[in-house]
Amino acid sequence: MKGKKIVIGITGGIAAYKTAYLVREFIKAGAEVKVLMTQAAKEFITPLTMATLSKNPVLTDFFNPENGDWNSHVDLGLWADAMVIAPATANTLAKMNYGIADNLLLTSYLSAKCPVFFAPAMDLDMYQHPATQKNINDLIARGHICIDADSGELASGLIGKGRMAEPLQIFNTVKDYFYKNQSLKGKKVLITAGPTYESIDPVRFIGNYSSGKMGYALAEECKNRGAEVTIVSGPVSISKPEGVRVIDVKSAAEMLELCLQYFPETDITIMNAAVADYTPAYAADKKIKRTKDDMFIELKPTKDIAAELGKIKKNGQMLIGFALETDDEEKNAAGKLIKKNLDFIVLNSLQDKGAGFGHDTNKISILFKDNNIKKFELKTKQEVAKDILNEIELIAQK
């Protein structure tokens, strides 16, 4: 769990005291923990206890009434790698199911992009009530993971189902979830991303509109699947993803040099950069001055990095390319697949709305060596990254 960011949401149930042990399990395992409590939860366990154990301030309110400090109602949901709501009362489960956003825990839940786990805890009749059962089942159908309540003696003195699962069981469910999804654990991945800049003089260059978003989304997805990821990145203005090595380069020649250095030890290489095919034959060392004459820049071809790596690719190494085409798309992409000795090529057509440079979305087709073509819908670049990684894993299993 090292480095994993866990938000623990505590709602108002007597089992809240057990969540102290849950927080300790995550901290012992190297996770970073932030705790959200509802007002009712504070009646059962103090924020001081939870802040001390989690090593972070506990958040309850949208703002601090004493100094007006504002707690963003969405930040934690976006920060988390997992959100664990334990104990989850009947009231909170109902609000989660119906999207009610009347406290910080619920607004964080509604903005969370990560897997959500919940551990119901309540009296047996409340637990068995069809309304509660429907809420639990709806949340499971939404993709959330329920660590179901245990049977035993309840706080009311009654005996039955409704007792929150033990902290260790909740912790192990979250841990197993991450472990199971570490399908690229032990694999080294190299990704090229962004444009290249080819210098004309100290202040001018030949470049292109690549934003690097697709390459960085691929890197993030590989990291989430447990791979050790290196991006060789042209100049982009996206923030560097945590837990990924980013090597900044400018020109096609620098990108080639770094790729040749890292490629021999990588298992999977994804060539996503929009590399310049031509570079000025000479870069002036001083700024070129304006004259009345026409201006010509002599260009010489750059090396095709993907093709160079394709030549030295060994058994067991995988090389994936991209093709951005405006016409004769499939024919051109199929040609590049062979020429560069790729395992498959991801085709973007500039004729598709929302695909290609600069967008947050992409629409791809994947062309395989056996002439098979898979077409995908328009999706966010994060979802496209998942589709591409799924195809890589399918080929690796063959």
Q: Note if 208 is an active site residue.
A: yes
Residue 52 and residue 36: Cα distance in Å, rounded?
13
Residue 347 and residue 11: Cα distance in Å, rounded?
48
3-state secondary structure of 81: coil
Instruction: Using the minimum distance from each CB to ligand CTP, give the nearer residue, 158 or 338.
Output: 338
CB of 198 to ligand CTP, least distance (A): 11
CB of 67 to ligand CTP, least distance (A): 51
Among 324, 337, 367, 389, binds ligand CTP (CB under 6 A): 324
Q: Choose the catalytic residue: 208, 224, 332, 362.
A: 208
CB of 319 to ligand CTP, least distance (A): 9
Among 116, 191, 244, 306, binds ligand CTP (CB under 6 A): 306
Q: Any contact of residue 213 with ligand CTP (CB under 6 A)? A: no
What angle do helix axes 381-397 and 213-224 make, rounded to 10 degrees?
Answer: 50
User: Is the torsion defined by CA of 59, 61, 64, 65 positive or negative?
Assistant: negative
Residue 155 and residue 246: Cα distance in Å, rounded?
53
CB of 18 to ligand CTP, least distance (A): 52
Instruction: Using the minimum distance from each CB to ligand CTP, give the nearer residue, 76 or 232.
Output: 232
Instruction: Using the minimum distance from each CB to ligand CTP, give the nearer residue, 200 or 306.
Output: 306
Give start and end residues of each alpha helix (H) in the chain.
Answer: 16-28, 47-54, 75-79, 90-98, 104-111, 124-128, 130-141, 167-180, 213-224, 252-262, 305-312, 329-339, 381-397
Residue 66 and residue 64: Cα distance in Å, rounded?
5
CB of 260 to ligand CTP, least distance (A): 12
**Which H or E run includes 33?**
strand 32-37
Instruction: Using the minimum distance from each CB to ligand CTP, give the nearer residue, 228 or 304.
Output: 304
Footprint of ligand CTP on residues 238-267 (CB under 6 A)?
A: 252
CB of 343 to ligand CTP, least distance (A): 12
Q: Any contact of residue 304 with ligand CTP (CB under 6 A)? A: yes
Residue reference for tokens 């447990």: 226
Residue 198 and residue 298: Cα distance in Å, rounded?
12
Q: Which stretch binds ligand CTP (CB under 6 A): 127-135, 201-209, 239-247, 271-279?
A: 271-279
Among 321, 349, 359, 384, binds ligand CTP (CB under 6 A): 321
Cis before 87 (ω within 30): yes
Label the pairing between strands 364-368 and 344-349: antiparallel
Per-residue binding letters, 113-152, with ligand CTP (x by CB under 6 A): ----------------------------------------
CB of 288 to ligand CTP, least distance (A): 25
Q: Which stretch binds ligand CTP (CB under 6 A): 111-119, 162-170, 273-281, 355-363?
A: 273-281
Among 79, 118, 322, 344, binds ligand CTP (CB under 6 A): 322
CB of 325 to ligand CTP, least distance (A): 7
| Residue 275 neighbours by CB under 8 Å, 6+ apart | 192, 196, 234, 252, 255, 302, 304, 305
Among 45, 83, 219, 305, binds ligand CTP (CB under 6 A): 305
Q: Any contact of residue 336 with ligand CTP (CB under 6 A)? A: yes
Q: Give the CA count within 13 Å in the CB-facing half-sphere of 290.
A: 0
As beta bridge partners, residue 345 has: 321, 367
Residue 392 and residue 364: Cα distance in Å, rounded?
15
What dihedral do alpha carbons 242, 248, 253, 258 form, nearest 10°? -50
Among 20, 88, 275, 334, binds ligand CTP (CB under 6 A): 275
Residue 87 and residue 92: Cα distance in Å, rounded?
9
Q: Any contact of residue 212 with ligand CTP (CB under 6 A)? A: no
Q: Any contact of residue 273 with ligand CTP (CB under 6 A)? A: yes
| Residue 386 neighbours by CB under 8 Å, 6+ apart | 221
Residue 169 and residue 147: Cα distance in Å, rounded?
8
Which residues contact ligand CTP (rule: CB under 6 A)? 192, 252, 271, 273, 275, 277, 302, 304-306, 321-324, 336, 340
Q: Which positions are catalytic? A: 208
